[in-house]
Amino acid sequence: MAAERTSYEVQVMRDGRWGAESFLEDEKTAVAAARKYLNDKKCEGAKVLRNWVRSDGTVVEKEVFCETRSVKDDGPVRIAQVDSVPAKCEVPDDYFGHESRAVMNRLFRNYMEKAFVTPTELMHNFKEFKRLQDKDTLLPSAVDRVAFLQTKDGEGDSKARREEIYKSVDAVSARARRADGMKLPKLNGSFSEVYRAVSDMADADTDADYLAMVVLSRDLVNLRSWVGKLDRLCRLAVEDGDPHCLELLDGVIADVLGANVVQEILGWQPNLAAAIGRLFDLAEGMMPVESSEAGESTEMLNALLREKKLPASRLCLIDRAHRQLKSPNPLNRSDPSKELEAFAQVVQRIVTPNGLLFGPESADALTTRQTKLVVEGGAAGRRAAIAATFNAMPDRAYGVIYLCDLAASEFAANTADDIVAMFDRIHDTVSIGQLCQRNLTPKERMIRATNAHRAIMGSVFPGDIKAQVAERIDTILERYLIDEQIVEKLDHHESPLRDRAVRLVQFCAAGVLPEGKAMTRARTRILGLLRQQNFDSHFVEGISDPAKAQKALRDFHQLLVRAGFGG
């Protein structure tokens, strides 16, 4: 019985602070784990505490192992360079938003990797906020960088913007200082329970959301590893059914996913291209977890993403994958000769039956990567990158979808004319075999062409460009219907009238053709059937039960409406 009431807590010291890393049942195993942490040169110390629960419920703590040491300072910590930031935060509350926290995650990445703190912890835990303020020139450098980026295009004065940011920083700090003196409940149960408990303590400055995050930050700050934080957050999310509390947890999970823990989550990958693919898999909750080094934490995260419970975390992973794709890092570092092959691997992962996986962002990232693969530079390099990415698409129809997405991305700012020029490839296309992959079924070919038609009609291009490209695709589809006699095969004269009519109308309702000449050809055939004398009587021939005959007619008329024949 005594053994069952005994546990061993392994703690690690970093930046002069002890934090719990794990709880084990065996002293020998716990000491071995502590010694393993000491293998990390950045680890300042490790110790094992024996916790024994008495019969009255009190806990007796005894230190059974401890080793500390001096760790050489790596020198000043600097901000990481960022080239883009979101819109200006107008009030202090804006700094708590997902986009602002994502920028903090990138700016302070070097510091956060050493301190193992998230942006949420920094803004809700005054002690952590103060440590950041006191660390070298981190905060002033970050403020300068953000102010410069937000005013570089002439939108205001950089100095004035710096002063505005500092005022917000002071307000965030003051709020954290006030909360630091509050006696708040501990996170011993579900996050929802804490949220309900602090709701009665809220006021105008410290609402329930803020206080709940203060409690969560106090809990997380004691976990001095990213996997430990992720595991804690995922367990809370799995156990919580309150949508709002889950939304709050999702934001902090996204904070953690901005750290280097992603490498442990993904596990070993042969190259960057494979890692990018796995990030997309994880964003959809479909990542194989066997190779992950984060164990059960990855399984929980994968399941939560699959169940679409973590939208902010999903966007964080997608953004990270796109940033890696746009980075100068080789897709296949071990074999530079296979760089194009690795690019094709990424394209294959991003291409889906309905379009690029994440639309304009994916088009932007793919094309940016191509600028690093082509020989040319400058404007010529951007043109070559657009052409090369177009050629990497499965076919020209998919190329249209790619160009439409690219036109809606940041890449289009200086390349609009070059993107439009690529449509010459479509204007030179005369057959479905040139437009779509040859190994597709007839239905798949028509759907692919129709998706391209819909993409161009819904794009940001001028009306005349839309009309020209859409007309070319429609003409190709109409010619395909004629050459393959697709409508005639559906309207086989030896089949009963009911079968012929239903097949034709189902074809029009299936979404395989856009509105235009091709669809008009199919509808004209249907109208010819509908205008036959006594159509309804002929349609129900062979159905002896009057009730079933009426139902067959009702179902057919509903199908007609779905196919665009009016209400």
pLDDT at 3 over 50: no
- Strand, helix or coil at 24? strand
Pairing of the two strands 17-24 and 6-14: antiparallel
How large a percentage of the chain has pLDDT more than 90? 61
Determine the pLDDT at residue 23. 82
What's the whole-model pTM score?
A: 0.79
Structural domain ending residue among the three candidates 448, 481, 514: 481
**Within-domain flag for 318:** no
Q: How confident is the model at residue 437 (pLDDT cuts 50, 70, 90)?
A: very high
**Within-domain flag for 386:** yes
pLDDT at 371 over 90: yes
Q: Which of 83-87, 218-222, 306-310 has the lowest mean pLDDT?
A: 83-87
Q: How confident is the model at residue 327 (pLDDT cuts 50, 70, 90)?
A: very high
What six digits make up the tokens of 559? 């199908």
* Region 406-425 average pLDDT: 95
Q: Phi/psi at 452 (nearest 5 deg)? A: -65, -40
Structure letter (DSSP) for residue 4: G
Highest mean pLDDT among 106-110, 393-397, 489-493, 509-513: 393-397
Pairing of the two strands 45-53 and 59-68: antiparallel
218 is in which domain, residue-wise?
Answer: 92-254
- Both 369 and 448 in a single domain? yes
Determine the pLDDT at residue 71. 63
Determine the pLDDT at residue 2. 45
Query: 9: closest CA among 39, 57, 46?
Result: 46
**Within-domain flag for 319:** no
**Within-domain flag for 163:** yes
H-helix or E-strand spanning residue 74: none
* Region 233-257 average pLDDT: 95
Report whether 38 contacts 93 (CB < 8 A): no
Highest mean pLDDT among 7-21, 70-84, 351-365, 397-411: 397-411
pLDDT at 1 over 60: no
- Both 416 and 506 in a single domain? no
Q: Which residue has the higher pLDDT, 354 or 204?
A: 354
Task: Give tens-digit pLDDT for 153-189.
Answer: 777 788 999 999 999 999 999 999 999 989 999 998 9
Report whether 45 contacts 247 (CB < 8 A): no
Structural domain ending residue among the three candidates 219, 236, 254: 254
**Within-domain flag for 412:** yes
pLDDT at 43 over 90: no
Q: Report which residue type is found at 426.
A: I
Highest mean pLDDT among 218-227, 287-296, 472-481: 472-481
Distance of alpha carbon 168 from the chain centroid = 29
Structural domain ending residue among the three candidates 239, 254, 269: 254
Average pLDDT, the chain: 90
User: What is the count of structural domains for the chain?
Assistant: 4
| C-alpha dist (Å) from residue 393 to 363, 404, 417 | 11, 13, 20
| C-alpha dist (Å) from residue 271 to 330, 346, 387, 458, 544 | 8, 11, 25, 36, 67
Can you tell me the distance from the alpha carbon of 426 to that of 531, in angstroms, rounded to the nearest whole number? Answer: 38
- Both 431 and 365 in a single domain? yes
> DSSP string of 316-368?
HHHHHHHHHHHSSS-SSTT-GGGHHHHHHHHHHHHEETTEETTHHHHHHHHHH
**Within-domain flag for 430:** yes
**Within-domain flag for 278:** no
**Within-domain flag for 293:** no
Can you tell me the distance from the alpha carbon of 415 to that of 406, in angstroms, rounded to the nearest whole number? Answer: 10
Q: Report which residue type is found at 247.
A: E
Task: Give tens-digit pLDDT for 71-105.
Answer: 665 567 899 888 888 888 889 899 999 999 999 99
- Both 102 and 41 in a single domain? no
- Both 59 and 110 in a single domain? no
Determine the pLDDT at residue 73. 57
Strand arrangement, sheet containing 17-24: 17-24, 6-14, 45-53, 59-68
pLDDT at 566 over 70: no
- 418's CB contacts (< 8 A; 6+ apart) are 379, 382, 383, 386
- Both 122 and 249 in a single domain? yes
